[in-house]
Structure 1
Amino acid sequence: MIDHTGIHVTDYAKAKTFYDAIFGAMGGGMLMEVPEQYTGGWKVVGYGREQPVFWLSEAKDAGPGRHTAFAARNRAEVDAFYAAAMAAGGKDNGGPGIRADYHPNYYAAFVIDPDGNNIEAVCHAPE
């Protein structure tokens, strides 16, 4: 089980704009900002709906691209995630739709974030 996870970002302002948009589209947002005196001067923020589950940490190097999938409560949230991501500078990596190869109700969208990470929103509920 995963309680929380995070990624490094090289352009904090650009990444924050991107993640503010996609989390906002899915009913969440930035919930916590760690004071820089605890991070060695780096900016660190946590996103989620009720508690921080996804963390952005400012860094000189983001490292290799990673894949993270966010749980959407319904298909409309997947659609909203994709639209917000594209408007905030994301790159298309597979628009909203059923991925029947995974299972018949796997409705997802994929985007590439400003640091090259493959970010997904997925809903497993039928319709």
Structure 2
Amino acid sequence: MLDHLGIYASDFERSKLFYRAVLGAIGYKPLHEMTARDTGLVPLIGFGVEHADFWLGGSSAARPVTCGSLHIAFRVKNRAGVEAFYQAALKVGGRDNGKPGLRPEYHPHYYGAFVLDPDGHNIEAVCHEPE
């Protein structure tokens, strides 16, 4: 079981705004933020519902960003959450990488949407419920 995961962004402030909007649409909120001075390396912000399980960090020479290398899926409770995620992403500069819809090749109730974040990472919201 995963406890948390982190990614790094080439433009921390731009990505922080993107993830505030996109994750806010599915109930996540910023729970902890640290400056580069606090960490001794890069700024970090942790998002979550009850605890920070998704972390975003800035980049540095010691922590470079490899664009487009990750796929992260956030599970949501219903299909409306998938739609909200997708619309929020497009409003803040996310790029479509798969409109909301059923993906029966995964399983009959797999309803997901995919967007590319500012660094080209494939970010998904998925609901596994029948309706």
Query: What is the TM-score of this pair, normalised by structure 2?
Result: 0.92
Give unmatched runs, 5+ long, in structure 1. Answer: none
Runs of 4+ more than 6 Å apart: none
CA positional deviation for 1:62: 1.3
CA positional deviation for 1:37: 3.3
| 86-95 vs 37-46, which moves further | 37-46
Q: CA RMSD in A?
A: 1.2
The match for 1:82 among 82, 86, 107 is 86
Q: Summarize the alignment of residues 33-44 of structure 1 with structure 2, pairs less than 5 Å apart.
A: 33-44=33-44
Q: Summarize the alignment of residues 1-127 of structure 1 with structure 2, pairs less than 5 Å apart.
A: 1-60=1-60, 61-64=64-67, 65-127=69-131
> Percent same amino acid among aligned pairs?
50
CA positional deviation for 1:34: 2.5
CA positional deviation for 1:72: 0.7
CA positional deviation for 1:105: 0.5
Query: What is the TM-score of this pair, normalised by structure 1?
Result: 0.95
Q: Deviations over 1:12-36 (max 9, x none)?
A: 1110110000111001111111343
Partner amino acid, structure 2, of 1:103? H
Partner amino acid, structure 1, of 2:81? E
CA positional deviation for 1:38: 3.6
Give unmatched runs, 5+ long, in structure 2. Answer: none
Q: Distance in 1 between matches of 2:36 and 2:9?
A: 16
Report the number of matched residues. Answer: 127
